[in-house]
Chains A and B, each alone.
Chain A
Amino acid sequence: MCDKDIVYRELKSIVGSDRVTDDEAILATYAMDSATPLGRAGYPSFVVLPMTTDEVKGVLEVANRYKIPVVPMSRGANIASMSIPSRGGIVLDLRLMDNIIEINTDAAYALIEPGVTFHKLAYEVRKYGFICHLPTASGGASPLANYLMRPSGNLTATWDPDPIIALEVVTPTGYVLRTGSASFGINSWRARYGPFPDLTGLFCCSYGTLGVITKAAVKIFDRGEEERLFLAAFDNFKAAVEFMKFAVRRKLVDSVTFWNWGWCMFHDMILSKEKEIPPEMLKPDQRTPPPGHPYGIATARMSGYTEVVDAQERVCKKLVEQLGGRVVSAEEAREKYPGSWAYWNAYYIEGVHVKPGEESQLRAGLHLPGCLITAEPSKVVEVEERMWRIAEKEFKPPVFYRSLPYSHAREFFLAFVVYATGSMVEEQQYLAHLRKVYAKLYDELLRDYGAIMFRFRRDPMYVIKTGTYAEVLRQIKRIFDPNNIMNPGIMMF
């Protein structure tokens, strides 16, 4: 234990008095996010706003000396309480570190700080004819933070799924570590791999438990001469998965996602500002689409030379028909799903989020909690079946899902979500119930289908399942963070 005043003075000496606070009202705004259960705020003792790597290093040294928990927060837009100080301590709010240090079009990467938002990065790289990965996080979220946790959807998911190249990391023990090509002290962040083990990967999905990432080189992509959106409707998930798998493996698309009818309708609802949730989305049978709607729509981005994209589109049409699906025209999509159409165009073609104030991705935050897994192609079809059976018994409508392939379709991502806010006691009870269902479900899906939790959801038992891996991870943790001060509320260690 330590004297709070002493710590405050030390923090003030590092960042100055206007960037550290213990003001109770300011602290309260860092205590909860939309996933924090009612009455379970995690109240910090201090919030610090560093602006440089040196300041981050200084703060971590103080925290380590006094064994004070540190929760790094890039933009705070996380919806799963990943940056909530559930064990108190210091919130290291990194939003003022918001520089795009370099956009290197020659080596196709951008070097960014944690406070940079998707809006800013997407806007800046577009100036150079590039796009960046866009996930389903909000435009106000941090690409650095989101990429470190794997984006749950992006524009080049099929062939280049990992947006992170190299990192600058500050550890509580005082290391300022650069990974990949940057580890040699050269001014090039182009490569993740060198002649040594990959330390970049160590910090991916570490959720701020090993150190604070102060810079990241992230991939950016040439937009190509032609960018096109291709839509195909399917009446079952199996056919959609087959389509996605072959479209990816045969290099027909940059990215493809399957949205079930509920999700298509959800986009419409939020973007058209309808007054209420459509009655179809509240019907007891959430699996069967309403009359006139397909089971779901696969949306694909194609880009490159026009002649190539034309050919890709022709082949995709053939593939869709072979699998019993049908191509959805722009007119049909615009008429039937205007919100989804607007969203898909902005997302896939423009490489930006839909008008920020109305963007659906922000509101994806309303789905709490979701069941997010990855599995092999044939297994993901079985998981979808299982999820509907669970949904019938355990979920209240609306329930909807999306799925997309990663990495040459070796695995598929599947996100089943419910529309719930968790804002009141009755909803809290429902969400508490869902959390129990999910905890059991993740175990069962792992056992029965080899399906893995997409992001860690603060279940210590899930880490233990990895056996030796968990033990090695703990040893690594001790090297970087011997006092376990880094984001301990994550419960990974």
Chain B
Amino acid sequence: MTMKLTSSIDKDLYTIIAHCIRCGQCTYTRGSKYDLLCPMYKKGKFFAYSGGGIVQLARALFEKVIDYSPSITNIVYRCTTCGVCEEMCGIITFPRKGVSPMDIGNLIKAELVKRGLGPLPPHKRFYENIVKEHTPYDDCRHEERTAWMPPEIRREMPKKAEVLYFVGCTASFREQDIARSLINILRKADVNFTVSRDEWCCGSPMYRTGQWDILRDLVKHNVEMIKKTGASTVVFTCAGCYNTLKKHYPEWYEGELDVEMLHASEFVVKLIKDGRLSIKKPIEMNATYHDPCHLGRGVGVYEPPRELIKLISGLKFTEMERSRENAFCCGAGGGVKGGLPDYALEIATERVKEALKLGVDTLISTCPFCKRNLKDAAQALKANIDIIDLVEILDKVT
């Protein structure tokens, strides 16, 4: 589900949100086992801090029971956009109009920004950084976007190729091992690929913090960049970028974008099935897997990472109790890590503790942003657990 950039809390949207019966289904797991999943609600306690609460806020705003205020900012910016509400709600998603409580939260953020009541101060810096250096991260220069790449590979990188690796800002500037691992894998499989030096922020942090006015430029630029490479397939290691391009770009981009988009885990499964890559080495590891929200609930990719993990000999895999569509968020999304770092850490800590309970030595993820936040939590806990991206393991065993 996605919001048009021109959306507002209008009569059409109101007709949908008025269906909400405050059942709270948006906050907990599918299936019989009851477990609270919405991180915002877990920490916030009051109903306002939930998907349904946000829907009720939208209703109250439409009915002019309340006006936009800093109180609303304090609520909606605690949403990590983990998508539990989108997955679980059977009410406002029911009329099949394509909205979820999470979408409505994003829309409220956009309205707050228009009124000068949002985003949170660190998010404003994201915006400024993106305008200047096309990445939300501080102290990063666009020219250095591909600095993670070994020079000899960078020199040989073609401008056009069948496959484009869309690296994303986190792997480009903060979790560079992930990017290096994927290109190693692509080279081993002899994939005709390229990495663009002209990639910009995908827009995910802007969308999820309500700073929508810049999105058209980012989308247009990235689509044109993709087209210039002539790639028929775009591969992602970042779940957030993948989710944004696959799910939201078709709604936001005004022209055609006819490319196949795949997460690295999906792409590697294909490479193995096609006989272009094989797992050659065992690894001694006792691991579990964290489903990134944007990859799992966001675009429904649950099995490919598990398929790959199970192919690796020596890797003992144990599933976490809250997995797949019932996975608990890492706490980083929705601008929360930047805007409310302590709160983000608190959520990640819960997830790391859940992994630790299984007695594993490694927590695998498939998103650099999840890795980053979970790593911070593991450090804060002084826990003896490695947080690693799946492609880093695959690079070692292929």
Contact = CB atoms under 8 A, between A and B. Distances in A.
> By CB atoms of chain A within 10 A, which of B45, B66, B90, B96 has the most?
B90
A28 B25 contact: no
A25 B75 contact: yes
B214 interface: no
A211 to B, nearest CB: 23
B391 to A, nearest CB: 31
A28 B21 contact: no
Nearest to A428: B18
A168 interface: no
Given A119-B32, A138-B23, A356-B30, A96 B45 contact: yes
| Centre residue among A352, A365, A422 by max chain B CB count within 10 A | A365
B22 interface: yes
A286 B207 CA distance: 46
A126 B21 contact: no
A26 B75 contact: yes
B18 A355 contact: no
B48 A25 contact: yes
Contacts of B22: 33-34, 76-77
Interface string A16-44: 00110101111011111110001101010
Given A29-B57, A49-B46, A357-B87, A119 B28 contact: yes
A102 interface: no
Give the residue among B18, B46, B66 with the most A Cβ atoms within 10 A: B46
Nearest to A424: B15
B91 interface: yes
Given A25-B48, A39-B63, A423 B90 contact: no
A250 to B, nearest CB: 33
A120 to B, nearest CB: 4
A357 B46 contact: no
Interface residues of B, number: 44
Given A25-B69, A423-B14, A356 B88 contact: yes
B361 to A, nearest CB: 31
Interface in A98-134: 117, 119-120, 122-123, 126
Contacts of A170: none
B32 to A, nearest CB: 5
B11 A28 contact: no
Nearest to A359: B90
B34 A117 contact: yes
Contacts of A21: 46
B56 A119 contact: no
B90 A123 contact: no
Nearest to B21: A365
Contacts of A47: 46
Given A49-B45, A141-B23, A28 B32 contact: no
Contact of B32 (A18, A29, A126, A423): A126
B21 A41 contact: no
B47 A29 contact: yes
Contacts of B34: 117, 119-120, 123
B47 A95 contact: yes
Interface in B14-73: 14-25, 28, 30-34, 45-48, 52-53, 56-57, 59-60, 63, 65-66, 69, 71-72
* Most chain A beta-carbon contacts within 10 A, residue among B23, B33, B47, B53: B23
A490 interface: no
Nearest to A353: B32
B219 interface: no
Contact of B56 (A32, A275, A357, A366): A32
Interface residues of A, number: 54
B48 A29 contact: yes
A85 to B, nearest CB: 13
Given A270-B94, A357-B25, A25 B66 contact: yes
Nearest to A364: B21
Contacts of A141: 23
B27 to A, nearest CB: 8
- Greatest chain B CB density within 10 A among A28, A126, A355 is at A28
A138 B25 contact: yes
B24 A140 contact: yes
A95 B18 CA distance: 22
A251 interface: no
B89 interface: yes
A120 B32 CA distance: 8
Interface string B199-229: 0000000000000000000000000000000
B96 A275 contact: yes
Contacts of A41: 60, 63, 65
A95 B42 CA distance: 12
A421 interface: yes
Contacts of B96: 273, 275
Contact of B19 (A34, A117, A357): A34
Given A28-B57, A423-B19, A362 B47 contact: no
A287 interface: no
Contact of B48 (A26, A75, A424): A26
Contacts of B87: 357
Nearest to A21: B46
B65 A365 contact: no
B267 to A, nearest CB: 30
B363 to A, nearest CB: 27
Given A29-B48, A43-B65, A120-B34, A423 B94 contact: no
A75 B75 contact: no
B23 A26 contact: no
A429 to B, nearest CB: 14
Contacts of A424: 11, 14-15, 18
Contacts of B65: 28, 31-32, 41, 43
Contacts of A59: none
Interface in B320-370: none
A26 B71 contact: yes
A29 B60 contact: yes
Contacts of B46: 21, 26, 29, 47, 49, 93
A140 B57 contact: no
A226 interface: no
A32 B19 CA distance: 11
B89 A33 contact: no
A79 interface: yes
Nearest to A274: B96
22 contacts: A23-B71, A26-B71, A29-B46, A29-B57, A32-B60, A33-B21, A34-B18, A39-B63, A43-B65, A77-B24, A119-B28, A123-B33, A126-B32, A273-B96, A355-B31, A356-B31, A363-B94, A421-B18, A421-B19, A422-B18, A423-B16, A423-B18
Interface of A: 18-19, 21, 23-26, 28-34, 38-39, 41, 43, 47, 49, 75-77, 79, 93, 95-96, 117, 119-120, 122-123, 126, 138-141, 270, 273, 275, 352, 355-359, 362-363, 365-366, 421-424
Given A29-B48, A422-B18, 19 more contacts: A21-B46, A26-B47, A28-B65, A30-B56, A31-B56, A32-B65, A33-B21, A41-B63, A75-B23, A77-B21, A77-B24, A95-B24, A355-B31, A356-B28, A356-B88, A357-B30, A357-B87, A359-B90, A363-B94
5 closest A-B pairs (Cβ-Cβ)?
A423-B18, A25-B71, A28-B60, A365-B21, A140-B23
